[in-house]
Chains A and B, each alone.
Chain A
């Protein structure tokens, strides 16, 4: 099987590589140091299995596993962790397997064999539900068949448009298929509903203005465009703007 090793610690990656390569029938096709690298490598090297550390800088292993299910042929994810009792309890039901570091050779072999027997629907069912503590740090979009990661911190707004949601971020715009309602639930702490069809990032709120038809529009930092605020959400937007002014 083709194995991708992902861990932020170099010695841990080296050990895993040596162990996988000592097992017959398995080869390491890449090494990544965080979740984003894992996604990138997974698209280019098409591994069957990803051995993934949970606690990593940037994007952690749990989130990367969830994004991986977006691939056409998602790899099976086996989590590795030195000690993370809370995470263990949380993902136990959602991972193909997990290994405790320092990993034993026999355990690694069993886990790889088990991963090889899983069918794609089984994998997706397991990994797509992996719970995340405090929401994703990135949004994953498909751009011309490739996965593109957009840091949540750079997203200015989400705008629902028929079947898709348009994600406007500092460097551009992409379409995703997630419902606005689910995004609001996941990122409610950072994004504010201003209209039936739009969520804006509170840190990007700049000011309110009125156009000649008497509609209220919100100005956002980093984008030229203004967005309409519905009457129903106007008081909340005003309040947030006021809080923002007081803070700065």
Chain B
């Protein structure tokens, strides 16, 4: 949980100054009081007096602890998790000790006849109960905090995966093309907007999901259509697909970033443009897709290129484990990326 005031440090302890946390403390304390009252005396019927007394005591311990934790929040939030945990644990035990002893003295002054040794017995029992319960509660806070961090990290990773896929270079160039087409060829501009929307809808969906090869090829074609409008005759695409299992599943947007790389590094640097060849076949229950693009003298190993490949590799590994493969071969004037994955049809 984010700790608002104390300099923004992250600690797993919740904010004991907040009303919500206090309410939770009161409820948990009261539940504990119920449990203790129900378990207390086997021989006699449960009375409201007993429950009231136990509740009073437990609430005192719980609320005093909460008050102290609230007061010391600034200091605790500067400690690491282990120290903050141990400190607050000891604090609650100390509060339990003091209040137990105070309760004993109140009983003495109230004139209760207590058996010898009752004081030590009473304090020790309370300490044990408090030790167990507060350990459980601290553990709960810790796990909740970890879960929260994990959820945040996942959201961040998702965002990064998305950013790695749609390049700003592509987006702004596409927008520029659309702006140009609106004037000269409005129908083409409409098509471009539709393609761009499909592409974005596809990429904004859950990045971990699987799509069919058919959908993936379709979105790749839409992407190429967009680029065709921009680069015109400079971009030539040759498809050579054998009969492929179109229902085979693969992670979404694996092919499109590979095509984007091929265009950015292979076709755009050539004044006369170039040919991208996409070939696909199915061998022994494995789909093999290859992408060939020209290599120019100015095509240098590019950090962005490898990041995109790494991103795809990770997603393939996530879906297929070691059964999928992504290879990059540069031979002379051509660069080939080969993608291989096993056929898993939907539903299995």
In Å, the complex CA distance between A101 and B169 comes to 11
B109-142: which have CB < 8 Å to A? none
Closest to A34 in B: B271
Which residues of the partner chain A approach B176 to less than 8 Å between Cβ atoms? 9, 11-12, 15, 82, 101-103
Task: Give, as a whole number of angstroms, the nearest-CB distance from A78 to chain B.
Answer: 16
In the complex, the answer to whether A102 meets B175 with C-beta atoms within 8 Å is yes
In the complex, the answer to whether A33 meets B169 with C-beta atoms within 8 Å is no
Which residues of the partner chain B approach A33 to less than 8 Å between Cβ atoms? 271
Which single member of A14, A82, A137, A153 contacts B172 (CB below 8 Å)? Answer: A82
Which residues of the partner chain A approach B180 to less than 8 Å between Cβ atoms? 11-12, 14-15
In the complex, the answer to whether A15 meets B179 with C-beta atoms within 8 Å is yes
B155-194: which have CB < 8 Å to A? 168-169, 171-173, 175-181, 183-184
Q: What's the tally of chain A residues with a CB closer than 8 Å to chain B?
A: 22
Classify the interface of chain A: helix, strand, loop or mixed: loop
Classify the interface of chain B: helix, strand, loop or mixed: helix
Closest to A82 in B: B172
Which residues of the partner chain B approach A55 to less than 8 Å between Cβ atoms? 268
Closest to B233 in A: A10
Which residues of the partner chain B approach A8 to less than 8 Å between Cβ atoms? 234, 268, 271
Which residues of the partner chain A approach B183 to less than 8 Å between Cβ atoms? 14-15, 18
In Å, the complex CA distance between A33 and B296 comes to 18
B63 within 8 A of A: no
In the complex, the answer to whether B268 meets A12 with C-beta atoms within 8 Å is no
Task: Give, as a whole number of angstroms, the nearest-CB distance from B224 to chain A.
Answer: 16
Q: Decide yes or no: A9 and B297 within 8 Å by CB, A14-B180, A33-B271, A58-B271 being known contacts.
A: no
In the complex, the answer to whether A57 meets B231 with C-beta atoms within 8 Å is no
A83 within 8 A of B: yes
Which residues of the partner chain B approach A100 to less than 8 Å between Cβ atoms? 172
Q: Decide yes or no: A83 and B177 within 8 Å by CB, A9-B231, A55-B268 being known contacts.
A: no
Which residues of the partner chain B approach A84 to less than 8 Å between Cβ atoms? 169
Which single member of A11, A18, A57, A137 contacts B268 (CB below 8 Å)? Answer: A57
Which single member of A10, A15, A82, A137 contacts B232 (CB below 8 Å)? Answer: A10
Which residues of the partner chain A approach B175 to less than 8 Å between Cβ atoms? 82, 101-102
B270 within 8 A of A: yes
A98-123: which have CB < 8 Å to B? 100-103
B288 within 8 A of A: no
Which residues of the partner chain A approach B230 to less than 8 Å between Cβ atoms? 9, 11
In Å, the complex CA distance between A12 and B180 comes to 6
B245 within 8 A of A: no
B217 within 8 A of A: no
In the complex, the answer to whether A9 meets B271 with C-beta atoms within 8 Å is no
A175-229: which have CB < 8 Å to B? none
Q: Give 25 CB contacts A-B under 8 Å.
A: A8-B234, A9-B176, A9-B177, A9-B230, A11-B180, A11-B184, A11-B229, A12-B176, A12-B177, A14-B180, A14-B183, A14-B184, A15-B180, A18-B183, A18-B184, A33-B271, A34-B271, A57-B296, A82-B169, A82-B173, A83-B169, A101-B173, A101-B175, A101-B176, A103-B176
B residues apposed to A, CB below 8 Å: 168-169, 171-173, 175-181, 183-184, 229-232, 234, 268-271, 296-298
- A-B pairs, top 6 by smallest CB distance, nearest first, are A15-B180, A11-B180, A82-B172, A102-B179, A101-B176, A57-B271
A residues apposed to B, CB below 8 Å: 8-12, 14-15, 18, 33-34, 55, 57-58, 82-84, 100-103, 137, 153
Given contacts A14-B180, A101-B176, 18 further A-B pairs with CB under 8 A are A8-B271, A10-B232, A11-B180, A11-B181, A11-B230, A12-B176, A12-B177, A15-B179, A15-B183, A34-B271, A57-B271, A57-B296, A82-B173, A82-B175, A83-B173, A102-B175, A102-B176, A102-B178
